[in-house]
Structure 1
């Protein structure tokens, strides 16, 4: 196997360009003996003389002329590739993909992206909304660099760190009878009202179905939808109430609906950040991750939302 170094390739191209070992050595900032040694080792390696030498000039042989454009292309491609790596390392270029719960994308990742775009405009970013199952699948398959989702049991192939918890509450319209409840709102008080639920694929629904104290209260669900947009459309028209975690309910409250934390029992959703076990994040992914952490820390204080991570946990997760 031929073993040619970058140093030898640069030496060969410089001598061919300058027509002189002295001038080529000066252009490369090396001694003439070092340059001559590099060319000799290269010729020994390929088994051919690459230059015809005389007292007045140094010109490539026929074999050297044929090799020169290939050597130039290889060196140019290598330098371009190394430049790409440098730009990725310095976050001037790169890409990152994240799969997360829709509410987390809206209220955490979106402001994080705005900050990332100001600092690193060359990074391409893709957000995908996913359920608990699809987030895990995208991270495990490599489609997503990391994800944010609920976890109901550990997944051995994933590293996970708890980011935040948010309390479940009732969401309803301004004309709903629940507005007449002045005391603390409990799950039992909801049982006589019509509930609009998310589909069983959604982690918000899965958590409720797993709670034995409340699962039996709403067996006769009249309305079921697959997403928060449809939920908003029904609730705003007075079609019952829904039970959502506080972060997921924010977009509905913005649309004029009301949110009241539910008690007895108090239930909190847990959102984890996950990545493939043992895999480090790319520089672009680390940049977005840090922006995400800053966005979480900058969130308006809310009794229903508790940011739980520590800086040591975040550093351990990122491997930084």
Structure 2
């Protein structure tokens, strides 16, 4: 029985990261956590041990004597665990394999490159096949078994599919930097009505998500330009042809000097990006390994992807 229920691996990793970086901010980035989530883990650990591990000031984070005593032991536990996991993984690893993943384009472009790079360095023998497609095709490929899992969002609950949540991705306004709405800190959905709107077609997952979430308010302008791909909408916005609504993670960093991004409120609407899998059946060892990498490295908030 655990005599210290607040002491778990997440808490130990949080403590070691803060101790090594000497900064809650840098530790949160390393662990892909929000500042508040990291603070809660440290507080839970301190309460479980009944000690103060860090002295916090407005500028510095300094370990207490208890923290200095605890650090090498926490590091030893994590090293031993990592070595044990590596041993088990190597023992069960296949010499070769292929993994097919279906994903929506924004995920493929902005979330997966770093994760795939990390996985490929550890498992260079595995062939990865990415199917970049729309939401309907992602779910169909997973349901039919053409892909071991998908990375996307679900508009409606699907009995045969389950989703492991990875990332909260709010919808935001994209408008030219000289547009009147760019002067606002936040924009209400109803304030979009006077302006030409560039929006995904009615069959797209994003459009269906928005229509369902905003069914009770009158928000849509009459003048619409419908597009197939989010990158097209950004080009049209940059040309001054209208405003657009996009998921936060779809906003490339290199366009932020030319396009203003503003949070949309009243209400706030977000899609939950996750790993979509069949409820029945089990993942292959290769797929389970990639799933662990994905869950470990995926940020919790889309702002990490945009450099905020």
TM-score, normalising length: structure 2: 0.63
Q: What's 2:97 paired with?
A: 94
Structure 1 Cα separation of the partners of residues 300 and 197 of structure 2: 33
Instruction: Rate the CA distance shift 1:149–1:252 in 2: closer, same or farther, 3 A.
Output: farther
96, 109, 112: which one aligns with 1:109? 112
**For structure 1, which runs of at least 5 residues remain unmatched after alignment?**
1-85, 306-320
Structure 1 Cα separation of the partners of residues 142 and 219 of structure 2: 35
Instruction: Rate the CA distance shift 1:135–1:223 in 2: closer, same or farther, 3 A.
Output: same
1:4-62 CA deviation, whole Å, 9 max, x = no partner? xxxxxxxxxxxxxxxxxxxxxxxxxxxxxxxxxxxxxxxxxxxxxxxxxxxxxxxxxxx
Count of equivalent residues? 218
Structure 2 Cα separation of the partners of residues 200 and 251 of structure 1: 27
| 1:234 maps to 2:236 | yes
Structure 1 Cα separation of the partners of residues 250 and 295 of structure 2: 18
Structure 1 Cα separation of the partners of residues 125 and 257 of structure 2: 34
Query: Post-superposition shift, 1:267?
Result: 1.1
Q: What's 1:202 paired with?
A: 204
Structure 1 Cα separation of the partners of residues 226 and 253 of structure 2: 19
Structure 1 Cα separation of the partners of residues 286 and 126 of structure 2: 7
Query: Post-superposition shift, 1:268?
Result: 1.4
| 1:165 maps to 2:168 | yes
Q: Secondary structure at the match of 2:298?
A: helix
Structure 2 Cα separation of the partners of residues 279 and 304 of structure 1: 36
Structure 2 Cα separation of the partners of residues 220 and 281 of structure 1: 46
**For structure 2, which runs of at least 5 residues remain unmatched after alignment?**
1-88
Structure 2 Cα separation of the partners of residues 303 and 98 of structure 1: 21
Q: What's 1:288 paired with?
A: 290
Using the TM superposition, name which of 93-102 and 170-179 deviates more.
170-179
**CA-based RMSD:** 2.8
Structure 2 Cα separation of the partners of residues 92 and 254 of structure 1: 44
Instruction: Rate the CA distance shift 1:301–1:265 in 2: closer, same or farther, 3 A.
Output: closer
Flag as ranges the 4+ runs of structure 1 deviating above 3 A.
Answer: 86-89, 250-256, 297-305
Query: Post-superposition shift, 1:302?
Result: 4.7
Equivalent positions of 1:148-227 (< 5 A) are: 148-179=151-182, 181-210=183-212, 211-214=214-217, 216-218=218-220, 220-227=222-229
Structure 2 Cα separation of the partners of residues 245 and 121 of structure 1: 32
TM-score, normalising length: structure 1: 0.61
Structure 2 Cα separation of the partners of residues 207 and 119 of structure 1: 36
Structure 2 Cα separation of the partners of residues 127 and 251 of structure 1: 23
CA contact (8 A) 1:172 1:242 kept: yes
Structure 2 Cα separation of the partners of residues 113 and 297 of structure 1: 14
Larger Rg: 1
Equivalent positions of 1:2-13 (< 5 A) are: none
1:119-141 CA deviation, whole Å, 9 max, x = no partner? 11111001122222111100011
CA contact (8 A) 1:108 1:295 kept: no
1:63-106 CA deviation, whole Å, 9 max, x = no partner? xxxxxxxxxxxxxxxxxxxxxxx999414311111111222122
Instruction: Rate the CA distance shift 1:134–1:283 in 2: closer, same or farther, 3 A.
Output: same
Structure 1 Cα separation of the partners of residues 91 and 239 of structure 2: 50
Equivalent positions of 1:138-153 (< 5 A) are: 138-153=141-156
